[in-house]
A and B are shown apart, each in its own frame.
Chain A
């Protein structure tokens, strides 16, 4: 997994609640067998019209937000389908952090598998950041070590994050490699289980 330490980037406001993973990456892009190249499908129905032309009004199509590395959104971002294609598409597009008032559980979890930092702030803080992001051409800083977001005005907002997740994100650890170091414990668990629930071994 890619580590996340610090990010200085433009932020794009997307002031809607319940932005679901179907909107983040629609179904037709889930037919790939690859992880890469999903940026073409990111927010597809919002970014493109039915003829496949860019919608000039959509925030990520506006020149002042080109290259945005931060997204700022409303409540319950990433709800719906478990598709990890959602964080893959955001990352592939260049978004490294999403700031919202809340996230859906599965999406939130998927972010931490991919070095995409989800930041939870209070409603008034998110609103303030949205205000500062207006017009583009600014820099917002997201720092994981100090757990802060610094707005262009210099205002600093602190966010909470689980310490275990933070540590792994800072180091970009390989979860499978780590768990495999516990293979002995898994062996022991399986032996006990085979004795207690032998019917599960007969399948």
Chain B
């Protein structure tokens, strides 16, 4: 019999019951936020069902929160519907005894930044959240994925999820990354390679020397974008980098319990003879700084390339989508992507708002500042740290001064312009260079045109005023 994959091991360790190929899977950590939970709590109330494990549940306020004036509190949030949703979450967590970091608390921030930062995210766990970017937590070797609100209600009531096992896909990335290329580029390269539906039905394990060399922040970026490749969950086997990151965090075990946990965590890796249903190999050395040109995360080109010709796509619906995408983006076929002038630069989101992301962007900005350059006059550039704690750390490192001196706005934490549920959004026709995860039509604001890229590339675009090759700024 062949060995087990990392995914197989986590799955097997959490099966409570199984019938006809459907498992009842125990959930170790349930993360919740204001947008996808009100209907779940209402459902529980209507059925007089309690929350089974409030201690295994953690709540934050992130999607709706304004990125300024958070200290004023939720009751001062100007948007009436957002305010009601935030107040509803506060009431629901209080009624059910769930730990909650409210808006303005330094521990609050984007749910996928907060979980790891607090040490709540741990290897070998099952983690769910009513948010598709829950895949982020897979960076720690945890099986983590997004669920819908009905399933949120199911997990609240039972601490389990009904699930069918997915297939195993291993993406192996080997080799040295070129200067100016990072985790975001690896992720975009993979999505370009397999497509936005390429991972549908699979859990992806990322392996290879390039992945091992990535920091935890880089691994989180990579796993975060797994959903954009169609797979609900991405995994990286835990190693010393994982354990070093977790040591001493508020919710990680201490003393003897740490040693016990460590021994357990070290059992989570794919056996050498494990068989994957599909394998994809990527050569890290071939990856250039990447950027999206269209309205799907698979619409990826190198920053040195031109937009594609829709006629080059294989199927009629793909051709129609490409034509529509170019028109929506206000671009012609065959146009160098560096000609695209940007109006807004957004550095933030659960994909790229951690300390390392901010350091990467700040390094580019600092270099430009030395050369006497600032944010281009026509560009609105903003940095939105992923959590209150990331913001404080960045300020201690002086990154905020670098950004502000160059003309960036330094804002308070939240999901912000990634999806524009708060006041931070694009106006029709505006073009953004964004470190977020989705370039869908209207994602950052109706009519907004989003180009996804790494934090360093976004910083370069802010200075240049158009999409630019970060390698010219190193």
Q: How far is the CA of A18 from the CA of B154 in the complex (A)?
A: 28
B428 to A, closest residue via Cβ:
A50
Task: Judge whether B438 and A104 touch: CB under 8 Å.
Answer: no
- Residues in B neighbouring A74, C-beta threshold 8 A: 317, 321
Residues A45 and B49 in contact in the complex (CB < 8 Å), given A17-B321, A33-B38, A176-B158:
no
Residues A33 and B148 in contact in the complex (CB < 8 Å), given A75-B197, A105-B230:
no
Task: Judge whether A110 and B420 touch: CB under 8 Å.
Answer: no
Check if B16 is an interface residue, CB within 8 A of chain A. Answer: yes
Task: Judge whether A185 and B82 touch: CB under 8 Å.
Answer: no
Q: Which of A114, A175, A197 contacts B261 (CB 8 A)?
A: A197
Q: How far is the CA of A103 from the CA of B296 in the complex (A)?
A: 15
> Considering the complex, which residues of chain B in the window 1-45 have a beta carbon less than 8 Å from any beta carbon of chain A?
16-17, 19-22, 24, 26, 28, 35-36, 38-39, 42
Q: Which of B148, B158, B231, B443 contacts A186 (CB 8 A)?
A: B158
Residues A82 and B442 in contact in the complex (CB < 8 Å), given A33-B88, A162-B164, A182-B17:
no
Q: How far is the CA of A202 from the CA of B251 in the complex (A)?
A: 9
Residues A16 and B317 in contact in the complex (CB < 8 Å), given A84-B150, A175-B150, A186-B16:
yes
Check if B431 is an interface residue, CB within 8 A of chain A. Answer: no
Per-residue B-contact encoding for A1-41, CB less than 8 Å = 1, 0 else: 10000000000000111101011001110111111000000
Per-residue A-contact encoding for B41-78, CB less than 8 Å = 1, 0 else: 01000010100100110000001100000000000000
- Residues in A neighbouring B316, C-beta threshold 8 A: 15
Residues A50 and B447 in contact in the complex (CB < 8 Å), given A33-B38, A81-B132:
yes
Per-residue A-contact encoding for B422-465, CB less than 8 Å = 1, 0 else: 00000010000000001011110011000000000000000000
Task: Judge whether A80 and B42 touch: CB under 8 Å.
Answer: no
- Residues in B neighbouring A50, C-beta threshold 8 A: 428, 446-447
Task: Judge whether A199 and B26 touch: CB under 8 Å.
Answer: no
**Residue among A31, A35, A175, A182 with the most chain B CB within 10 A?**
A31
Residues A80 and B440 in contact in the complex (CB < 8 Å), given A31-B82, A104-B200:
yes
> Considering the complex, which residues of chain A in the window 79-118 have a beta carbon less than 8 Å from any beta carbon of chain B?
79-84, 87, 102-106, 109-110, 113-114
Q: How far is the CA of A80 from the CA of B232 in the complex (A)?
A: 10
Check if A131 is an interface residue, CB within 8 A of chain B. Answer: no
Residues A186 and B26 in contact in the complex (CB < 8 Å), given A45-B446, A82-B148:
yes
Per-residue A-contact encoding for B73-116, CB less than 8 Å = 1, 0 else: 00000010110110010000000000000000000000000000
The total of chain A residues at the interface (CB under 8 A) is 60
- Residues in B neighbouring A179, C-beta threshold 8 A: 24, 154, 157-158, 160, 162
Task: Judge whether A15 and B317 touch: CB under 8 Å.
Answer: yes
Task: Judge whether A82 and B197 touch: CB under 8 Å.
Answer: no
Residues A35 and B153 in contact in the complex (CB < 8 Å), given A79-B230, A102-B197, A105-B200:
no
Check if B360 is an interface residue, CB within 8 A of chain A. Answer: no
Q: How far is the CA of A75 from the CA of B88 in the complex (A)?
A: 37
The smallest C-beta distance from B243 to any residue of chain A, in angstroms, reads 14
A167 to B, closest residue via Cβ:
B20
The smallest C-beta distance from A203 to any residue of chain B, in angstroms, reads 6
- Residues in A neighbouring B443, C-beta threshold 8 A: 22, 27
Task: Judge whether B317 and A164 touch: CB under 8 Å.
Answer: no
Check if B253 is an interface residue, CB within 8 A of chain A. Answer: yes
> Considering the complex, which residues of chain A in the window 157-196 have a beta carbon less than 8 Å from any beta carbon of chain B?
162-164, 175-176, 179-180, 182-183, 185-186, 189-190, 193, 196
Q: How far is the CA of A50 from the CA of B49 in the complex (A)?
A: 43
The smallest C-beta distance from B169 to any residue of chain A, in angstroms, reads 13
Q: How far is the CA of A80 from the CA of B436 in the complex (A)?
A: 13
> Considering the complex, which residues of chain A in the window 57-94 have a beta carbon less than 8 Å from any beta carbon of chain B?
74-76, 79-84, 87
**Residue among B49, B162, B264 with the most chain A CB within 10 A?**
B162
Q: How far is the CA of A70 from the CA of B321 in the complex (A)?
A: 21
Residues A203 and B251 in contact in the complex (CB < 8 Å), given A31-B82, A179-B162:
yes
Residues A33 and B24 in contact in the complex (CB < 8 Å), given A15-B317, A80-B132, A202-B253:
no
Q: How far is the CA of A16 from the CA of B261 in the complex (A)?
A: 48
> Considering the complex, which residues of chain B in the window 198-239 have a beta carbon less than 8 Å from any beta carbon of chain A?
200-201, 227, 230-232
Task: Judge whether B16 and A189 touch: CB under 8 Å.
Answer: yes
- Residues in B neighbouring A31, C-beta threshold 8 A: 35, 64, 79, 81-82, 84-85, 421
- Residues in B neighbouring A156, C-beta threshold 8 A: none
Check if A56 is an interface residue, CB within 8 A of chain B. Answer: no
The smallest C-beta distance from B174 to any residue of chain A, in angstroms, reads 28
Task: Judge whether B438 and A20 touch: CB under 8 Å.
Answer: yes
Residues A76 and B16 in contact in the complex (CB < 8 Å), given A22-B442, A50-B446:
no
Task: Judge whether A27 and B85 touch: CB under 8 Å.
Answer: no
Check if A128 is an interface residue, CB within 8 A of chain B. Answer: no
Q: How far is the CA of A163 from the CA of B24 in the complex (A)?
A: 17
Q: How far is the CA of A137 from the CA of B361 in the complex (A)?
A: 56
- Residues in B neighbouring A102, C-beta threshold 8 A: 197, 200
> Considering the complex, which residues of chain A in the window 122-144 have a beta carbon less than 8 Å from any beta carbon of chain B?
123
Residues A27 and B421 in contact in the complex (CB < 8 Å), given A105-B200, A186-B160:
yes
Which B residues contact A (CB, under 8 angstroms)? 16-17, 19-22, 24, 26, 28, 35-36, 38-39, 42, 47, 49, 52, 55-56, 63-64, 79, 81-82, 84-85, 88, 120, 130-132, 145-151, 153-154, 157-160, 162, 164, 166, 196-197, 200-201, 227, 230-232, 251, 253, 257-258, 260-261, 264, 296, 298, 315-318, 320-321, 324, 419-421, 428, 438, 440-443, 446-447
A23-B441, A185-B24, A186-B16 are known; give 14 further A-B pairs, CB within 8 A: A16-B321, A17-B321, A18-B197, A20-B296, A27-B443, A31-B64, A32-B85, A82-B36, A82-B146, A176-B154, A179-B157, A182-B24, A189-B26, A200-B28
Instruction: Please name 17 pairs of A and B residues whose Cβ atoms are closer than 8 Å in the assembled complex, sorted by A.
Output: A30-B421, A31-B35, A32-B85, A33-B88, A80-B440, A82-B130, A82-B148, A105-B231, A105-B232, A109-B151, A162-B21, A162-B164, A164-B21, A164-B22, A182-B17, A193-B26, A203-B56
